[in-house]
Amino acid sequence: MTHTRSANAVRLEFAPGSLVQTNLSGAAFTGDWLWVAGDEACGLDRLRRLDPVGRESLRFGEVRDFPLADLLDLPGAADEEADLEGMAVADGYLWVVGSHGLKRKNIKPDRSHADNAKRLAKVALDGNRRLLARLPLEPDADGTPCLVKQAADGRRALRLKGDAQANLLTRALADDPHFGPYMAIPGKDNGFDIEGLAVDGPRLLLGLRGPVLRGWSALLEIQVEVRADDLRLAPLDDKGTLVRKHFLQLDGLGVRDLHFCGDDLYILAGPTMVLNGDIRLFKWPGARKVMNANAEPVRFEAALTEATTLPHGSGSNRAEAICNVPAAMASPQARWLVLYDAPGADRREGEHTVFGDLLRHA
79-136 tens-digit pLDDT: 899 999 999 999 999 999 999 999 999 999 999 999 999 999 999 999 899 999 999 9
For the chain, 362 residues long, give each residue's pLDDT as a single digit of tens: 344 456 789 999 999 988 888 889 999 999 999 999 988 889 999 999 999 987 888 999 999 999 999 999 999 999 899 999 999 999 999 999 999 999 999 999 999 999 999 999 999 999 899 999 999 999 999 999 999 999 999 999 999 999 999 999 999 999 999 999 999 999 989 999 999 999 999 899 999 999 999 999 999 999 999 999 999 999 999 999 999 999 999 999 999 999 999 999 999 999 987 777 789 999 999 999 999 999 999 999 998 998 788 877 777 888 899 999 998 887 678 899 999 988 888 899 998 999 999 988 86
Q: Is residue 30 part of a domain?
A: yes
Tell me if 35 sits within 8 A of 46, measured CB to CB: yes
Q: What DSSP string describes 55-114?
A: S-SEEEEEEEEEEGGGTS--SS-TTS---EEEEEEETTEEEEEE----EEPPP-TTS-HH
**The predicted structure's pLDDT at residue 313:** 77
* Torsion sign over Cα 159, 160, 161, 164: negative
**The predicted structure's pLDDT at residue 21:** 80
Q: Is residue 325 part of a domain?
A: yes
**The predicted structure's pLDDT at residue 3:** 47
Q: Is residue 266 part of a domain?
A: yes
Supply the CATH number for residue 182's domain: 2.120.10
Q: Is residue 1 part of a domain?
A: no
CA 327 to chain centre: 22
d(CA 206, CA 204): 7
**The predicted structure's pLDDT at residue 41:** 86
Total structural domains within the chain = 1
d(CA 310, CA 117): 35
**The predicted structure's pLDDT at residue 23:** 86
Q: Is residue 348 part of a domain?
A: yes
Q: Domain limits at 322?
A: 9-360
Cβ neighbours for 175, distance < 8 A, ≥ 6 positions apart: none
Q: Is residue 4 part of a domain?
A: no
Per-residue pLDDT reduced to its tens digit, 138-157: 999 999 999 999 999 999 99
Q: Is residue 337 part of a domain?
A: yes
Torsion of CA 32, 40, 233, 211, to 10 degrees: 110
